[in-house]
Amino acid sequence: MGASWVRRNILDENPDADFAVHVVWVPQLGASRGDIDPELFSDPRVTTYWDPAGVASEAVVGDGSAYDVYALYDGDAKLGWETTLATGRPVIADAEDLRARLLELLS
């Protein structure tokens, strides 16, 4: 699961890093808002959202039914495809690219 990977390999491995993570949950594979484990992202750098209509994935990757997607932005970016530094899906398949690009931004 991409969300667990992000928690372990991004948040837990970089506890003092200055960045924000926005997690957008969507109702894929029959999931509902009640299926979300609130402890998964208890880190104060994380803000979570419930997006039943897929508005966020439409804005980021142009596919409102997409899930398990990441998008990486620098601190000055505005939400949207044109300002994305990196994007990929599923998170696990692109995990090393996500990690490398994040570490590059943090250095």
pLDDT digits (tens, 9 = 90+) for 52-98: 998 988 888 888 888 888 888 877 766 555 677 788 888 989 999 99
Q: What is the pLDDT of residue 29?
A: 82
Q: Are 20 and 106 in contact (CB under 8 A)?
A: no
* Weakest-pLDDT range from 42-51, 76-85, 94-103: 76-85
Element (H, E) at 47: strand 46-50
Domain range spanning residue 59? Answer: 2-106
> Among residues 47, 41, 46, which one has the least CA distance to residue 8?
41
Question: Are the C-beta atoms of 82 and 59 separated by less than 8 Å?
Answer: no
Mean pLDDT of 3-8: 92
pLDDT the model gives residue 48? 93
Number of domains within the chain: 1
